[in-house]
Amino acid sequence: MNSYWAQWSAYLPIAIAAALVLLSPLWSLTRHAVTLVHEAGHAIAAVATGRRLTGIRLHSDTSGLTLSRGKPRGPGMVLTAAAGFLAPSLLGLAGALLIAAGQLPVLLWGAVALIVAMVPFIRNIFGLLVLVVCGSAIGVVAYYGSPTLQLHFAYSAIWLLLFGNLHTIVEAARTRSGRSDLDQLRSLSHLPRFVWVVLLVAVAVGTGVLAWRAQYLG
């Protein structure tokens, strides 16, 4: 019985993450964590491409905004715009690979460090609240949690990012506000929105498959 439960409990984080994304009342809360990573992706790409990061805002409607200064066009701006939809999937995959390599503490405390690094750039109270809640939750689990709790928490967060990012890409593809990241990418690259949707979905699905292999087949 114990071995049977141990076998199926390995899939518990995926079930938890799926519920957190697919159930609307839960998704309205957990999406803030995906938005946090989305905006962190914009911020990291902006700095990496030589732009000046000026501020990050996280809003109560689960949207976000990252502002930077630099050339208004060019590869750096394209990468900065695309990084929001790439970051949650890439971070989810990186987390799965770190756990597979026996580096769970590095993953948890690295996530806390990333959140702390964002604090000086937050420009609204709600955004700061999101950072405090997410950072505190990860920190408490990393410091007080048992190895089993840490592992299940980390994998649940990883799959939340992987499933949640795919969800946000599909939502963005259905919305034509003229101000979304997809609209910005279309304007900057002159590639149709559809092409960007296909590319981003391919990355989201591909990273999910690799994360699955790292967790269950590695």
What's residue 214's pLDDT? 93
Q: What is the DSSP letter of 56?
A: E
- pLDDT over threshold 70, residue 152: yes
Tokens 């919305």 belong to which residue?
A: 175
What's residue 87's pLDDT? 97
Per-residue pLDDT of 22-68, as tens digits, reads: 999 999 999 999 999 999 999 999 999 999 999 999 999 999 999 99
What's residue 176's pLDDT? 77
Average pLDDT over residues 88-96: 97
Residue 1's pLDDT band (boundaries 50, 70, 90)? Answer: very low
- pLDDT over threshold 70, residue 3: no
Higher per-residue pLDDT: 157 or 70: 157
Higher per-residue pLDDT: 181 or 164: 164
What's residue 6's pLDDT? 55
Residue 72's pLDDT band (boundaries 50, 70, 90)? Answer: confident
Average pLDDT over residues 95-110: 97
What's residue 73's pLDDT? 86
What's residue 4's pLDDT? 52
What's residue 70's pLDDT? 85
- pLDDT over threshold 80, residue 5: no
Residues 6+ apart with CB under 8 A from 1: none
Q: According to the 3-state scheme, what is the secondary structure of 130-194?
A: HHHHHHHHHHHHHHHCCHHHHHHHHHHHHHHHHHHHHHHHHHHHHCCCCCCHHHHHHHHHCCCHH
Q: Specify the pTM.
A: 0.93
Average pLDDT, the chain: 93
What's residue 190's pLDDT? 87
